[in-house]
């Protein structure tokens, strides 16, 4: 079932974390933070919304890193119920798509809850001081990718954040599969 997160709560401060990455290293928010901003993405391996645009996510992340924006992706799904999202499969996914950013597992789901992440993909774009400036979508894609020439909303917003410290006022929420929460 498709869900959408709320739009941007401008200035909300990025919570810190320390999570294991597919590169055999633990990463904190400070390790990822870029001099001109930070993008934290909640994604997973099996979601058709993510899979339809994973090449665009990788492209935009690489271009944003070149602009001084730090980037990380976090998978928070219940891996017992969704074994395709396991840490071993995350390593394969990162290698298959050439991730230039850390791919982290949030096995306890605490970080997803702390951030208020609700779906995959869910994008949190922060300015250089850690204030939220973007909580919108990648582009107009849904379960299927939009045409290749579609407006690159996430990239353009984060480029604006890198250049001005402020995100666009008008943002369209992301849409995707709900995060697969563990049974209480």
pLDDT number for residue 58: 98
Residues 6+ apart with CB under 8 A from 52: 141, 142, 143, 144, 145
Among 95, 111, 92, smallest CA distance to 41 is for 111
Give mean pLDDT, residues 36-43.
98
Distance CA 10, CA 1 (A): 28
Distance CA 17, CA 49 (A): 25
What are the structural domains, with CATH classification, of the chain? 2-178 (3.40.30.10)
Query: Where residue 1 falls among pLDDT bands split at 50, 70, 90?
Result: low
Mean pLDDT of the chain: 96
Give mean pLDDT, residues 126-137.
97
CB contact burial 24-45 (16+ within 10 A = b; e otherwise): eeebebeebbbebbbbbbbbbb
pTM for the complete prediction? 0.96
pLDDT at 20 over 90: yes
pLDDT number for residue 72: 98
Return left, alpha or beta for 101; rule: phi > 0 is left, psi -120 to 50 is alpha, else beta.
beta
Give mean pLDDT, residues 143-157.
95
pLDDT tens for residues 56-96?
A: 999 999 999 999 999 999 999 999 999 999 999 999 999 99
- For residue 45 the two structure tokens come to 């391996």
């Amino acid at each position: 079932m498709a869900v959408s997160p709320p739009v941007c709560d401008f200035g909300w401060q990025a919570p810190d974390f320390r999570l294991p990455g597919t590169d055999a290293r633990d990463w904190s928010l400070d390790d990822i933070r870029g001099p001109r901003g930070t993008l934290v993405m909640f994604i997973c391996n099996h979601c058709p919304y993510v899979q339809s645009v994973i090449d665009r996510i990788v492209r935009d992340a690489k271009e944003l890193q070149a602009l001084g924006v730090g980037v990380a992706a976090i998978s928070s799904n219940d891996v017992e119920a969704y074994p395709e999202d396991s840490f071993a499969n995350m390593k394969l996914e990162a290698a298959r798509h050439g991730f230039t950013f850390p791919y982290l597992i949030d096995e306890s789901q605490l970080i997803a809850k702390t951030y208020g992440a609700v779906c995959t993909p869910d994008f949190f774009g922060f300015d250089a001081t850690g204030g939220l400036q973007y909580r919108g979508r990648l582009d107009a894609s849904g379960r299927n990718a939009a045409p290749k020439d579609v407006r690159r909303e996430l990239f353009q917003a984060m480029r604006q954040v890198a250049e001005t410290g402020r995100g666009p006022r008008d943002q369209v929420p992301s849409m995707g599969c709900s995060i697969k929460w563990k049974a209480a």
